[in-house]
Amino acid sequence: MKAPINRIIPFSNVDGPGNRMAIFFQSCPFECMYCHNPETIRMCIACGTCVQNCPVQALEKKDGQIVWDEKKCVQCDTCIKVCPHLSSPKIKWLSTNDLMEEIKKVRLFIRGITVSGGECTQHRDFLVELFSKVKQLGLTCLIDSNGSYDFSGDSELMEVCDGVMLDVKATNPLFHQNLTHTDNQLVMKNLKFLLESGKLEEVRTVILPTYPDQNEETVRTVSRIIQGKCRYKLLRYRPFGVRKEGLDFCGQIITSEFEAERLKSIAKDEGSDSVII
Ligand code: SF4
Ligand code: SF4
C-alpha cells in the first residue's frame, strides 16, 4: 500500500506534545480560503503546465504521469506557483515500510508521529497500517484533521490512534460552507465524539481579522462544548501563502493580538481555561 506524501518534517514541536515527526499527506476535501499550503489540496492531473516552466528540467511527463527528479530540483517552487489546479508535482508515493525507515532513523529523539495534510484521513487504510507498526516502537500516533472523516464509525483506526487534533474552522454552517466549500455537520459530530471518547488531543480555530462576529460565535460554541477538557488553540490568521480568492475573503492583514485576547477571554467565560494563542 502506498500513499502520496507531500512533505516530512523529522522534528517538529508544533504538531502535538513533545518532539514529533510530522508527515503531510497530499489531497484534502476542503478548500479553505486561508490555506497556507494550497498546493496540498488536490491530486495532480498531469496537465503538464509545471513541466514547461521548470527552469532545470526536473519534471517530465511519462505514461500520463508527472515524474519529479529530486536530484535535479533546485526547490524554486515555480511549479507550485504556476499550477492551475492547487496541486504539486513534488509528491512521493511511499509505502508504510518506506516511512518506517525514516521514523527508525529518528526514533530515539521523538515522542511520536503526527499525520497531517492535506487531509490525512483520506488515506485511512494506510494510517491503520502505519500506526500499527509505529506503536510497536513505543511511539505515539496523533492525527491532525479537519474533521471531514467520521471517526465515530471507525473503531479500528481509533484503537491505534492516540489522539486527534481537530480543526473547527467555524460553527456557523453557512459561514463554514463559504470558508471551506464544505458542510460542517460531521466536524461538529466529531468534536463531540472525540471529546466523549477521550481522544480529543486539541481543538484549533483560525481567527480572522475580517469576521469578529463569526470568530466569537465559533469560540463560544466550541468552549461551551469542550469546557476546558482539552487544549483550545486560537491561531491568528496570517495572509502569507494564501491564494488570491482567499485574500479577497479573509483580508490582507494579520489578526490583531487584541482580537486574540478578546476571544481568549470569551473562551474562559464559557468554561475553557486551557486556551493558547
Ligand atoms: S502539478 Fe499542477 S501544473 Fe503540474 S502537472 Fe500537476 S496539475 Fe498540472
Ligand atoms: S521546485 Fe524543482 S521541480 Fe519545481 S520548478 Fe523548481 S526546480 Fe522545477
pLDDT, tens digit (0-9, with 9 covering 90-100), for 64-78: 999 999 999 999 999
Mean pLDDT for the chain overall: 96
The sign of the torsion formed by the CA atoms of 129, 8, 54, 42 equals positive
**Percentage of residues in the chain having pLDDT higher than 90:** 96
In this structure, which ligand is nearest to the CA of 26?
A: 1
Looking at the CA of residue 74, tell me the nearest atom of ligand 2: 7
- The pick from 49, 54, 59, 243 for probing ligand 1's pocket by mutation, whose C-beta has the most ligand atoms within 8 angstroms, reads 49
What is the distance in A from the centroid of ligand 2 to the CA of 39? 13
Q: 204 by DSSP, 3-state: which?
A: strand
Residue range 2-40+99-276 forms a domain whose CATH class is alpha beta
**Which pTM was predicted?**
0.95
177 lines ligand 1 (CB under 6 A): no
Instruction: Report residue 72 as a C-alpha cell.
Output: 535535479
pLDDT band at 62 (very low <50, low <70, confident <90, very high): very high
The binding-site residues of ligand 2, defined as CB within 6 angstroms of any ligand atom, are 54, 56, 58-59, 68, 73-79
pLDDT at 227 over 90: yes
Which long-range CB contacts under 8 A does 220-225 form with residues at least 24 apart? 220/266, 220/267, 220/270, 221/171, 222/168, 222/171, 222/191, 222/267, 222/272, 223/266, 223/267, 223/268, 223/270, 223/271, 223/272, 223/275, 224/270, 224/271, 225/191, 225/192, 225/195
Which CATH code, of 3.30.70.20, 3.20.20.60, 3.40.50.170, 3.30.310.50, is assigned to 49-82?
3.30.70.20
Mean pLDDT of 264-272: 94
Mean pLDDT of 199-212: 97
pLDDT at 274 over 90: no
DSSP 16: S
Domain boundaries defined on the chain = 2-40+99-276, 49-82
pLDDT at 150 over 90: yes
Mean pLDDT of 136-145: 97
Burial (Cβ within 10 Å: 0-12, 13-18, ≥19) of residue 172: middle
Mean pLDDT of 226-253: 95
**Percentage of residues in the chain having pLDDT higher than 70:** 100
Euclidean distance between CA atoms 4 and 69, whole angstroms: 16
Strands 275-276 and 231-236: parallel
DSSP 1: -
pLDDT for 209: 97
- The pick from 44, 61, 78 for probing ligand 2's pocket by mutation, whose C-beta has the most ligand atoms within 8 angstroms, reads 78
pLDDT band at 273 (very low <50, low <70, confident <90, very high): confident
DSSP 200: E
pLDDT band at 47 (very low <50, low <70, confident <90, very high): very high
pLDDT, tens digit (0-9, with 9 covering 90-100), for 85-138: 999 999 999 999 999 999 999 999 999 999 999 999 999 999 999 999 999 999
pLDDT at 25 over 90: yes
